[in-house]
């Protein structure tokens, strides 16, 4: 027969065991529910949208919570605290990048985290053609909001900025803004950064072109003459020949007499030059100057620079436009005058029609 006193002593112990068991069971159930709740989120795709991809911009310095908010606003993920937990526990929280990215929609949150940790920022191709002036280049970058055009123009002639780029003796960076197709991401913004990239590219190209040339090469004079060749050239294959003509004229102490230098000196770029303009001295007018103008009149490309460094060997000292993008080259004044009569008269007749 069981002692009632012993039964009484066991009762609290049994009660305690029940409480512990129920507590453990409750904890297990809670953990399972939480794991299921979290696991369901992990395997669930993001919001279904009408597009397969979306452009997302993550500013530099954005917190994990801020990134989650941006992604949710762009409907890449659901607005859910579980994204923060997943990012933290998976180790991706410190790997998420800033920039502008093209992300796929309808992806699982883990896939979004992996994509955002390794994605490359969207690159935009901006093409700067050969022969443009600094002001024209500024307009191109200003159109799509890459920089303030006025700031760009101001920096081109700012002495302290020019010296910072390593060009101590230049009054302007006109001529050194290398024309090329640049791939920019949206974090490359501002006139200072863009000009620095263009000038660095010029330095690289100049290094390639000037290596191996015997004797000392005058970079400034080369760029000035190349800028004129670039503006005079309608047909790319004529660059070395035009450079050869200018070299011959300079050696013979003849004036270059290039119309684009007159235009640059007048600063009236949208108007035709007049005979008065040809006879009005400026720092750029090669009809009145005995040699090269004070600085470049455009930003020449690799081919124009190369043409000046390696001009065609020719006896020609004159050329005139044939009105089709090419030129007629002459070695004597008599031949040149005949060509002028032929092509300029033809041009006038066409205008008369």
Taking residues 231-241, what's their average pLDDT?
91
Is 133's pLDDT higher than 70? yes
Give yes or no for a contact between 231 and 242, defined as CB atoms under 8 angstroms apart: no
Residue 185's nearest CA partner among 315, 55, 79, 37 is 55
Strand stretches in the chain, DSSP E: 53-58, 99-104, 124-127, 181-184, 318-321, 327-330
Residue 48's pLDDT band, with cuts at 50, 70 and 90, is confident
Domain boundaries, the chain: 53-118, 124-210, 227-352
pLDDT digits (tens, 9 = 90+) for 83-128: 888 888 888 888 888 899 999 999 988 899 999 998 889 999 999 9
Check the CA dihedral 131-135-141-143 and report its sign: negative
Owner of token pair 């684009």: 260
Question: For domain 53-118, is the CATH number 1.10.150.20?
Answer: no
- pLDDT top residue among 167 and 14: 167
Give yes or no for a contact between 316 and 331, defined as CB atoms under 8 angstroms apart: yes
pLDDT of residue 38: 62
Residue 173's nearest CA partner among 192, 146, 147 is 192
Lowest model confidence (mean pLDDT) among 191-195, 285-289, 333-337, 344-348:
344-348
- pLDDT top residue among 68 and 33: 68
Q: Which two tokens stand for residue 183?
A: 């791939």
Is 22's pLDDT higher than 90? no
């Amino acid at each position: 027969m069981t002692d009632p006193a012993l039964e009484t002593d066991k009762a609290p112990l049994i009660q305690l065991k029940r409480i512990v068991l129920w507590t453990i069971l409750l904890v297990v159930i809670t953990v399972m529910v939480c794991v299921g709740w979290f696991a369901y989120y992990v395997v669930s795709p993001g919001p279904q949208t009408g597009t397969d991809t979306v452009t997302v911009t993550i500013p530099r310095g954005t917190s994990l919570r801020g990134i989650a908010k941006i992604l949710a606003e762009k409907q890449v993920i659901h607005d859910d605290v579980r994204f923060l937990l997943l990012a933290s526990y998976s180790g991706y929280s410190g790997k998420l990048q800033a920039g502008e990215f093209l992300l796929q929609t309808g992806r699982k949150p883990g896939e979004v985290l992996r994509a955002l940790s390794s994605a490359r920022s969207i690159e935009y191709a901006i093409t700067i053609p050969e022969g443009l002036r600094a002001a024209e280049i500024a307009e191109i970058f200003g159109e799509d909001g890459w920089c303030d055009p006025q700031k760009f123009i101001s920096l081109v002639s700012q002495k302290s900025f020019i010296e910072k780029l390593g060009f101590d003796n230049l009054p302007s960076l006109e001529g050194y803004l290398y024309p090329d197709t640049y791939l920019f991401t949206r974090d490359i913004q501002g006139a200072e950064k863009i000009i620095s990239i263009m000038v660095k590219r010029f330095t690289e190209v100049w290094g390639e072109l000037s290596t191996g040339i015997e004797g000392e090469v005058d970079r400034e004079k080369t760029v000035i003459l190349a800028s004129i060749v670039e503006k005079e050239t309608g047909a790319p294959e004529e660059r070395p020949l035009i450079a050869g003509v200018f070299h011959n004229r300079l050696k013979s102490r003849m004036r270059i007499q290039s119309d684009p230098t007159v235009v640059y000196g007048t600063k009236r770029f949208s108007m035709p030059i007049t005979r008065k303009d040809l006879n009005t001295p400026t720092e750029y007018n090669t009809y009145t100057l005995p040699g090269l103008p004070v600085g470049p009149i455009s930003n020449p490309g690799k081919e124009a620079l190369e043409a000046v460094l390696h001009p065609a060997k020719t006896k020609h000292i004159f050329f005139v436009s044939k009105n089709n993008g090419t030129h007629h080259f002459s070695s004597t004044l008599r031949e040149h005058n005949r060509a002028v009569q032929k092509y300029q008269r033809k041009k006038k007749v066409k205008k008369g029609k």
